[in-house]
Amino acid sequence: MIDSIRGDNLLSLNDLSREAIVEVLDTAESFVEVNQRSIKKVPALKGRVVASLFFEESTRTRLSFETAAKRLSADVLSLAVASSSVKKGESLRDTIATIDALGIDAVVMRHQSSGAALQVSRYVPHVRVINAGDGLHQHPTQGLLDAFTIRQALAERRGTTGLETGAALFANLHILIVGDIRHSRVARSDIAAYVALGAQVRVAAPGTLLPEDIENWPVSVADDFDEALEWADVVGLLRLQRERGSGSFVPSLGEFTQTHGLTFERARRLRPEVLIMHPGPMNRGVEIDSRVADLPAAVIERQVTNGVPIRMAVLYLTVAGSKEGSPK
């Protein structure tokens, strides 16, 4: 168990303790305030270089990581993989070595292969590696920002702030995750974060979209989606990942929507206080009805907004200082 990500890599949420996660969420609260100032910039990472390496397409994660790094005053090296030597067949190891030779302090990396971030952390042990999504494995900052969004929304309703509540609002909170669990690194990171914070997590999906080793996961499996919706305090939807072949795991998109989509009908039966989440990008009309995405209970835009302070917190804690530090 890791009790703090300070001065460390962030590759997975699986081995983070509750304290480590709460520390990131609390630090992010400070950055929410920075993002509300008229000058949205602090000098914490002045002179540091953060490389952003996205081997897989992304809009929100890449933009929010680069915004986060810039608001911390870091210099950002951004590699556009499509127009780089990767297209000439350069290996991951050589690409990393080239970027490292320019002198970098951290790499933010997304890659289509599970474990790619871990591999890179072995190539460049002196550089902090932040996993921005690796294959089916993990998407740690998404898990953190989802937990942050839940804590913020629940704290606001109680007239308090996330900072005051620590992990208390997660005790016995019922979180339902629906959809393509098998191909989802977001589900894997979300579950790790929610369970570490003390929530109860249930998953609902057609049998073919559940991973084979689901019985080893710290979650229960819902037999019936509609019953599970009654149980839930938070409903987290997942994108049906057609680029990973999810389409061939269900008879048809229409049937998936019928059995496991959050249709307008289903959303209307939810208790009004139930939060609806989606990591984006949405397939409107498949896993979520277009009208549901625009309900007040949907915190989807807030998830995007919170991406910047969470990623600032992660960059600050991992990159700003050494783990132990030298004595004063």
- Which residues from 108-137 bind another protein, rule CB under 8 A? none
How many chain residues bind another protein (CB under 8 A)?
28
Site for another protein (CB under 8 A): which residue of 25, 72, 129, 169? 72
Q: Does the protein bind another protein through residue 156 (CB under 8 A)?
A: no
Choose between 23 and 190: whose C-beta lies nearer to another protein. 23
Q: Does the protein bind another protein through residue 282 (CB under 8 A)?
A: no
Structure tokens at 127: 């550089």
Return d(Cα 160, Cα 149) in angstroms, integer. 14
Instruction: With beta carbons less than 8 A apart as the criterion, state whether 298 and 264 touch.
Output: no
What minimum distance in Å lies between the beta carbon of 43 and another protein? 6
What minimum distance in Å lies between the beta carbon of 124 and another protein? 18
Return d(Cα 180, Cα 184) in angstroms, integer. 6
Choose between 7 and 280: whose C-beta lies nearer to another protein. 7
The DSSP annotation for 35-100 comes to TTSSS----TTTT-EEEEEESS--SHHHHHHHHHHHHTT-EEEEEEGGGSGGGGT--HHHHHHHHH
Choose between 44 and 193: whose C-beta lies nearer to another protein. 44
Q: Does the protein bind another protein through residue 37 (CB under 8 A)?
A: yes
Return d(Cα 308, Cα 115) in angstroms, integer. 24
Looking at the DSSP assignment, which residues form a beta bridge with residue 10?
130
Site for another protein (CB under 8 A): which residue of 9, 12, 27, 303? 27
Return d(Cα 317, Cα 262) in angstroms, integer. 37
What minimum distance in Å lies between the beta carbon of 304 and another protein? 23
Choose between 128 and 260: whose C-beta lies nearer to another protein. 128
Choose between 7 and 211: whose C-beta lies nearer to another protein. 7
Binding mask 43-62 vs another protein (x if CB under 8 A, - otherwise)? xx------------------
Q: Prior bond to 206 cis, omega within 30?
A: no
Q: Does the protein bind another protein through residue 6 (CB under 8 A)?
A: yes
Return d(Cα 108, Cα 54) in angstroms, integer. 8
- The residue ranges that bind another protein (CB under 8 A) are 6-7, 23, 26-27, 29-30, 33-34, 37, 39, 41-44, 72, 163, 316-317, 320-328
